[in-house]
Amino acid sequence: MEREKLSACLITFNEEKNLGDCLESIAGLADEIVIVDSGSTDLTEEIARKYGARIAVHPFDDFGRQKQRAIDLATHPWILLIDADERVSGELSSEISQLLQDRSRLDRNQGYEINRLNFFMGKAILHGGWSPDYLVRLFRKGQARISANLVHESVHVSGTTGRLVHRLYHFTYASMEAFIQKNARYARLSALEKKSRGSAPGLIKVLLHPPFVFIKMYLFRQGFRDGKEGLFLAILYSYYTSLKYIWQFYL
């Protein structure tokens, strides 16, 4: 039986360090690759074209809208939403391929969650709230949309969702510097979102929320079991939380 066709969709901006490995991991799985780029000045476009990707350029406004643009450009009935710093394991690729061949099983759900294994500075993080990390990443086009969040967007499926067994690898934050730079941007977007919802800034939030985040990640969610990386992540997320609430005073 011929399998359902799959479009892999992603967004990029100066991803030459990540994109090749990402696209290589889906080369035998995706029937088309759709990329919405927000004006890369490095080799991102050249790498994308090497893998036969279709590229559209659109100025970045927020993550949700940018990803939805990529989905809207896809031509196949099933979508795999992936980030440039993620890799589809060989086992996950085989599982998705087999699923797309099994029409009776495929039609039971309109979307499927995939459990990401997140890496921080090269180490797989298994605690602190980073694992398990189930996200809807495989879904039928027209039956799901990206949330309107400025940051930490998610996929909302119209219908039932299932879960796949094998994992998606997420190579996030190769260094402390990468975390600080990326989350400084996220903090501002998060503050803008809070402001748009009418959330008022407050010094109590600045004082109390960051230490609570540290305690929750490091103790309650057992981040200490991930060694020094678990400690650093709890500290860094506490810092990120501080930035979110401080930004609200200046927007």
pLDDT digits (tens, 9 = 90+) for 65-113: 999 999 999 999 999 999 999 999 999 999 999 999 998 889 899 999 9
Residue 194 has pLDDT above 90, yes or no: no
Region 213-219: mean pLDDT is 98
Contact 245, 190 (CB under 8 A): no
Confidence of residue 148 (pLDDT cuts 50, 70, 90): confident
Q: Is a pLDDT exceeding 70 seen at residue 1?
A: no
The pLDDT of residue 24:
98
Q: Per-residue confidence at 165, pLDDT binned at 50, 70, 90?
A: very high
Say how many Å lie between the first and final Cα of the chain, rounded: 56
**Sequence-ordered list of residues with C-beta below 8 angstroms from that of 52, at least 6 positions apart, any chain:** 32, 33
Average per-residue pLDDT for the chain: 95
Give 199's DSSP letter.
P
Percent of the chain with pLDDT over 70: 100
Q: What is the mean pLDDT of residues 167-171?
A: 97
Confidence tier at 31 by pLDDT (50, 70, 90): very high
Q: Is the pLDDT of residue 124 over 80?
A: yes
The answer to whether 71 and 81 are in contact (CB under 8 A) is yes
Q: Over pLDDT 90: what percentage of the chain?
A: 82
